[in-house]
Amino acid sequence: MTPPEGARPGERPSPPERDEGLQPERTALAWQRTVLGVVVGALLLAASGLRAGNGAVVWAAGVVAVLTLVPSVLRPPDGRLPSHGRLYAWSFLVRVVGLVLALAVVGAAWALSQAFGGP
């Protein structure tokens, strides 16, 4: 998934091994499910905002959907162990969690504005 920037000089990276437990594939699928879930959630929010005529909600949800989808299309998980044996999960996790938080904040703000007599 990522370039072997941490590989030591002079060390030839061995070809990626296949894991008999298919762990990389399962992890790649878990990523796909998560991305799909975030996109579906964002589309649900966008559709509700559209129906209620709330343009800000539609825009926010659309931005979340695009920001979630684009990286996973540009660099899809390939289901192999990285040749250098080092995984880079943190930045991807932080990004997805940030997008979920954005979705949650927009949803909660909308719900609260409805609860307390907003438009």
Partner 1 sequence: MAGEDAEPGDNRRPRSVYGVGTEPDARFSLANERTALAWVRTGVGLVAGGVALTSFSTFADLPGLVDLVAAVACLVGASCATYALVSWRRNERALRRREPLPAPGGLPVLVVGVVLLAVLIAAYAVAAGLGAAASLP
Alpha carbon distance 2, 16 (integer Å): 13
Q: Does the protein bind partner 1 through residue 19 (CB under 8 A)?
A: yes
Question: For the chain, how many helices (H) and strands (E)?
Answer: 3, 0
Instruction: CB nearer to partner 1: give 33 or 75.
Output: 33
Least distance in angstroms from the C-beta of 74 to partner 1: 19
User: Is there binding between residue 14 and partner 1 (CB under 8 A)?
Assistant: no
Alpha-carbon distance values, 26 to 32, 68, 74, 86 (Å) = 10, 20, 20, 17
> In sequence order, which residues have a C-beta less than 8 Å from that of residue 1 and are 6 or more positions away?
75, 77, 78, 82, 88
- The answer to whether 78 contacts partner 1 (rule: CB under 8 A) is no
Element (H, E) at 33: helix 23-52
Q: 13, 18, 52, 70: which one contacts partner 1 (CB under 8 A)?
A: 52
Residues that bind partner 1 (CB under 8 A): 5-8, 19, 21, 23-24, 26-27, 30-31, 33-34, 37-38, 40-41, 44-45, 47-48, 51-52, 81-82, 85-91, 93-94, 96-97, 100-101, 103-105, 107-108, 110-112, 114-117
